Every structure is written in structure tokens, then in C-alpha cells.
């Protein structure tokens, strides 16, 4: 039987680990906001990029597109004119501005990001555009600075995988949504098993891989939070370059992995709050 001290020690270790992850994310994305060269969802030198092409979308703002996404959550978000929409991990405002083009001047878009330089960059972009119904708030996804039951739709693009406590994150999403509201989230998950050595290298190659859960576990979290009508609306396999495989696995291990069906996948998930 574990003692109370053991439980407290374990919790303290978890809290310390979560804090370390958040500080790493803050530092990295702060540099990205300043356009310093670090690895995001694109590989070194941006030879391979997981981000989708936004350039043809209404509301696209080049200065807000840092290439950090892994999908286009607005595609399946069922946005309507006048909706209040919350963008989690809003970065420089890319998805928020595309959303604003759909919900119109009568809608309201709130972006939340925990990185101060990103918030400043997004606010600057919104000011240049003259948008009065798009705002950006500094805060964490596990403790959103948003009123309960005030949002029609929640979107997010390749951010929740970086959140240490995903169950708490989805609980917060449920809290801020109005009854009958819904979410559309693009994220990275793992199907099958990635060798530990390969997972570490993949995270170094593309930072958005860090924190990626098994897809089954990811959906268990969503179901456990009380969402319904959950579906994968879009799926895209993220290729792991052969060069990366050769750097981390023997030829035999690489062939075994290729034939195993295990893979990294970008999914865009839809779910509703009853």
C-alpha cells in the first residue's frame, strides 16, 4: 500500500514535469513569434512541413501564418455568421483571422495563448487589420480565461498535444462551450507503437510531435470528458523521412517499423457538448 507521502511525492513530480514542459513550450514559441530559427511543425529548413496551405482561404493573413499547424480546423467547424469562437493556442492569429472571415463582424473570436510574444504579435496583427471583434488573451488551456458557457465553437490547431494534462484541457473546453456547442481540433496522434529512439528523433525533427498520444487513448480522454458525436473528419499520415529512420534504427528495425502499420497521424476531430 502506498503511503500518503508517496502519493504527494508522485504528484509533485508530475507537477514539476508539467511545469518544465510548459516552460519549454513558452521558450520555443516565443522564439517562433520573433521569427528565430527553431523547429516547429516543420522540419529543419522547412524541407518537410506538416502545415496545410492557408493561402487560398478567406481572411488569410501572411504575417499571422507561422506554419505551425497540422490541419485546418475551420474546415469542419460548422461556423456560422454571428458565432462566438474560441481558438486555443492561437499563436500569431492565423486561424482566428480565417474564423473571423466566416463569422463576420457580428461574430466574436477569442484567441488564447500562453506565450506573451505570440499574444503581442497577434494583437498587433489584429490592430493593423482594424478588427474590433477579435481579441487575444494570455492564458493556459488547462485554466482558460473564458467565462463558462459563453462559446459556440472551440477550435485548435496542433496545440493540445503539447498540453501536459489533456483531460483537464478537454474539461475546460467543455466548461466554456454553450450547451449544444462543439469543437473542431486538429492534432497529432500515434497509431500503433513508435520505438522510443524513433519517437525522440521525431520530436527533435518536428516539435509538434512532442506529447502526441495513442489515438485510442486520445479518444478515451474526449469520451471521458462527456463529449458526444465524436468523429474523425479528416486524417493525414505524417511521413517520417527514411533519413531519420536510418539515423535511429537498424535496417532490420526500420523495415519492421515500416511494415508494422505504426505511424504518426494528423487528425481533425469533431465533438459536441450535450
Confidence band of 209 (pLDDT split at 50, 70, 90)? confident
Other CB atoms within 10 A of residue 216 CB: 10
Quote the pLDDT of residue 44: 45
Going by C-beta distance under 8 Å and a sequence separation of 6 or more, which residues neighbour residue 46?
A: 67
Give the pTM: 0.83
Residue 199 has pLDDT above 90, yes or no: no
Per the DSSP assignment, residues forming a β-bridge with 186 are 157, 268
Q: List, in order of start, the domains of the chain with CATH numbers.
A: 4-184+223-229 (3.40.50.150)
Please give the angle made by the CA atoms of 55, 72 and 43, to the nearest 5 degrees: 75
pLDDT, tens digit (0-9, with 9 covering 90-100), for 68-111? 888 999 999 999 999 999 999 999 999 999 999 999 999 999 99
Q: How far is CA 178 from the centre of its chain?
A: 21
Quote the pLDDT of residue 247: 82
Alpha-helical regions (H) of the chain: 4-33, 94-103, 116-129, 166-176, 196-205, 215-224, 242-248, 251-260
- Cβ(166)–Cβ(221) below 8 Å: yes
Residue 16 has pLDDT above 60, yes or no: no
248-263 in b/e burial notation, b at 16+ Cβ within 10 A? bbeeeebeebeeeebb
Confidence band of 207 (pLDDT split at 50, 70, 90)? low
Quote the pLDDT of residue 202: 73
Find the range with the poorest average confidence among 32-36, 133-137, 202-206, 259-263.
32-36
Quote the pLDDT of residue 205: 62
pLDDT, tens digit (0-9, with 9 covering 90-100), for 210-250? 778 999 999 999 999 999 999 999 999 987 778 878 888 88
Amino acid at each position: 500500500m502506498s503511503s500518503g507521502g508517496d502519493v504527494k511525492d508522485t504528484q509533485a513530480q508530475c507537477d514539476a514535469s508539467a511545469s518544465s514542459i510548459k516552460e519549454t513550450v513558452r521558450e520555443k514559441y516565443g522564439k517562433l513569434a520573433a521569427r528565430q530559427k527553431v523547429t516547429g511543425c516543420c522540419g529543419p529548413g522547412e524541407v518537410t512541413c506538416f502545415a496545410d496551405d492557408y493561402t487560398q482561404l478567406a481572411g488569410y493573413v501572411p504575417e499571422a501564418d507561422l506554419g505551425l499547424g497540422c490541419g485546418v480546423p475551420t474546415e469542419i467547424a460548422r461556423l456560422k455568421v454571428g458565432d462566438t469562437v474560441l481558438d486555443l493556442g492561437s499563436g500569431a492569429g492565423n486561424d482566428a483571422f480565417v474564423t473571423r472571415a466566416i463569422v463576420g463582424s457580428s461574430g466574436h473570436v477569442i484567441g488564447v495563448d500562453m506565450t506573451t510574444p505570440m499574444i503581442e504579435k497577434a494583437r498587433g496583427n489584429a490592430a493593423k487589420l482594424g478588427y474590433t471583434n477579435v481579441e487575444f488573451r494570455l492564458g493556459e488551456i488547462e485554466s482558460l480565461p473564458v467565462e463558462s458557457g459563453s462559446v459556440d465553437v472551440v477550435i485548435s490547431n496542433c496545440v493540445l498535444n503539447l498540453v501536459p494534462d489533456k483531460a483537464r484541457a478537454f474539461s475546460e473546453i467543455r466548461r466554456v462551450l454553450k450547451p449544444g456547442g462543439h469543437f473542431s481540433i486538429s492534432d497529432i496522434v500515434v497509431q500503433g507503437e513508435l520505438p522510443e529512439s524513433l519517437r525522440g528523433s521525431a520530436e527533435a525533427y518536428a516539435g509538434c510531435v512532442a506529447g502526441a498520444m495513442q489515438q485510442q487513448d486520445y479518444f478515451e480522454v474526449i469520451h471521458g470528458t462527456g463529449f458526444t458525436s465524436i468523429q474523425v473528419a479528416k486524417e493525414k499520415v505524417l511521413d517520417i523521412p527514411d533519413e531519420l529512420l536510418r539515423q535511429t534504427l537498424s535496417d532490420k528495425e526500420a523495415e519492421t517499423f515500416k511494415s508494422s502499420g505504426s505511424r504518426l497521424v494528423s487528425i481533425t476531430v469533431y465533438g459536441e457538448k450535450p
